């Protein structure tokens, strides 16, 4: 291990002096805890005055991504292992609060991945997660919300999902392929990545993603109480709405326009562009800059909304299709099966059997 010479560490960056991309304060605090667990002298590495300032911040504070990356750089200079991969092994689901608990309350890994993707921006607004089932493989991709790219955050996110999938399913043998948007690293980091994921590694990809066999999605999660899931989901939806209201992200701005329209299905590209005060071409271009298109964004929001409807037994499947703007019941059926791997009727029956509804456990 390299020597631990005392270094000067800047004060926490004011959010207005950095990019609009932020991470939850928990990223910084968990990095500190992880280094302590690895028996490093964090006071010497990061500065005791700085650590005191961090500990004095409100637990729900969000910090500039650059501040967390600067801490990771300083830590990496004193750590033999890859700091992001070290954190991924250290962090347990409950360390992420309600998001971790809702994954623990899921019935299978597919549902856990959907919940993580839906509420990932409560942890950071650097990327969004897109979970898809493609032929006989699932793919969870990280799409950037701005021009900022963070290899640290990409490694941490994908590696954490990898370890949590094994922990939730009690299957230590799960192997995942990983695609990274950054170049191939040196031999030591490459070896660490191979040990973490166990599958094929690819670099210089269009976006970073985690992939695995489709059958992994149906692996049961037996770590928590399924009946609390809808309560947690409602809490997280409220937190997401508050976050998006305060966000300066163009994608979040468009989501705020779309959200109230989901209830009646009256959503057109022309109307959304007009309300956003931009041309259709500009709207499409701005979304493409963030790795999205209008159809993909709307599809993701419909997916999140329909999971809420599924918990309300007063809303029929036909009503769901109409409320989400599907022209026919069959198109809704096809989209739902693409999202979840199940027909909507079978999905709802499974929820009822598990005792889950929007009004609490079904009795």
This prediction's pTM: 0.68
Token duo for residue 14: 């004011």
Q: How high is the pLDDT of residue 359?
A: 43
Check: CB of residue 206 under 8 Å from CB of residue 181: yes
**More confident of the two residues 292 and 159:** 159
> CA–CA separation, 45 vs 142, rounded Å?
30
Mean pLDDT across the stretch 336-351? 80
> CA–CA separation, 185 vs 11, rounded Å?
30
DSSP state of 183: P
Q: How high is the pLDDT of residue 169?
A: 92
* Predicted confidence (pLDDT) at residue 175 exceeds the cutoff of 80: yes
Q: What is the pLDDT of residues 123-152, one digit of tens each?
A: 998 888 888 777 778 889 998 887 889 999
Q: What percent of the chain has pLDDT over 70?
A: 83
> CA–CA separation, 31 vs 37, rounded Å?
10
**More confident of the two residues 135 and 80:** 80
Residues facing 220 on adjacent strands: 108
Neighbours of 297 (CB within 10 A): 19
Token duo for residue 143: 């799409």
**More confident of the two residues 311 and 154:** 154
Closest CA to 13 of 59, 41, 54: 54
**More confident of the two residues 18 and 178:** 178
Neighbours of 268 (CB within 10 A): 12
Q: What is the pLDDT of residues 177-213, one digit of tens each?
A: 999 999 999 999 999 999 999 999 999 999 999 999 9
Residues facing 144 on adjacent strands: 127
Token duo for residue 13: 């960056």
> CA–CA separation, 173 vs 177, rounded Å?
13
* Predicted confidence (pLDDT) at residue 84 exceeds the cutoff of 90: yes
| Domain ranges across the chain | 15-80, 93-218, 248-354
Check: CB of residue 12 under 8 Å from CB of residue 53: yes
> CA–CA separation, 202 vs 212, rounded Å?
14
Token duo for residue 94: 């409950």
Q: What is the pLDDT of residues 89-123, one digit of tens each?
A: 999 888 888 888 888 888 889 888 888 888 888 89
Q: How high is the pLDDT of residue 229?
A: 65
Q: How high is the pLDDT of residue 137?
A: 85
Q: How high is the pLDDT of residue 182?
A: 93
What topology is assigned to 248-354 in CATH? Arc Repressor Mutant, subunit A (1.10.10)
Q: How high is the pLDDT of residue 356?
A: 47
Question: Residue 82 — φ and ψ, nearest 5°?
Answer: -65, 120
Check: CB of residue 24 under 8 Å from CB of residue 123: yes
């Amino acid at each position: 291990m390299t020597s631990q010479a005392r270094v000067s560490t800047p004060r926490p960056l004011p959010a207005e002096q950095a990019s609009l991309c932020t991470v939850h304060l928990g990223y910084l605090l968990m990095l500190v805890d992880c280094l302590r667990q690895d028996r490093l002298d964090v006071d010497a590495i990061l500065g005791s005055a700085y650590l005191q300032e961090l500990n004095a911040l409100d637990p729900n504070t969000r910090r500039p991504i650059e501040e967390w990356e600067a801490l990771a750089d300083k830590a990496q200079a004193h750590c033999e292992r890859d700091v992001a991969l070290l954190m991924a092994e250290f962090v347990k689901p409950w360390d992420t609060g309600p998001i971790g608990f809702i994954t623990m309350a899921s019935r299978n890994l597919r549902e856990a991945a959907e919940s993580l993707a839906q509420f990932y921006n409560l942890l950071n607004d650097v990327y969004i997660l897109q979970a898809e089932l493609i032929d006989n493989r699932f793919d969870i991709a990280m799409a950037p919300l701005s021009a900022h790219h963070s290899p640290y955050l990409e490694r941490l996110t994908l590696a954490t999902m990898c370890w949590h999938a094994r922990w939730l399913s009690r299957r230590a043998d799960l192997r995942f392929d990983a695609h990274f948007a950054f170049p191939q690293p040196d031999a030591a980091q490459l070896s660490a990545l191979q040990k973490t994921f166990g599958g094929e590694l690819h670099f210089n990809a269009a976006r970073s993603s985690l992939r695995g066999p489709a059958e992994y999605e149906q692996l049961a999660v037996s770590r928590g109480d399924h009946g609390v899931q809808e309560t947690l989901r409602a809490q997280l939806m409220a937190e997401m709405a508050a976050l998006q209201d305060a966000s300066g992200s163009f994608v979040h701005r468009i989501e705020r326009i779309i959200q109230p329209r989901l209830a009646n299905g009256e959503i057109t590209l022309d109307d959304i562009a007009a309300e956003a005060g931009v041309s259709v071409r500009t709207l499409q271009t701005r979304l493409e800059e963030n790795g999205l298109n209008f159809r993909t964004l709307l599809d993701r929001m419909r997916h999140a909304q329909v999971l809420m409807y599924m918990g309300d037994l007063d809303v029929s499947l036909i009503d769901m299709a109409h409320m989400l703007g599907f022209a026919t019941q069959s198109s809704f059926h096809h989209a739902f099966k693409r999202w979840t791997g199940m027909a909507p009727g079978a999905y709802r029956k499974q929820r009822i059997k598990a005792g889950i509804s929007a009004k609490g456990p079904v009795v």
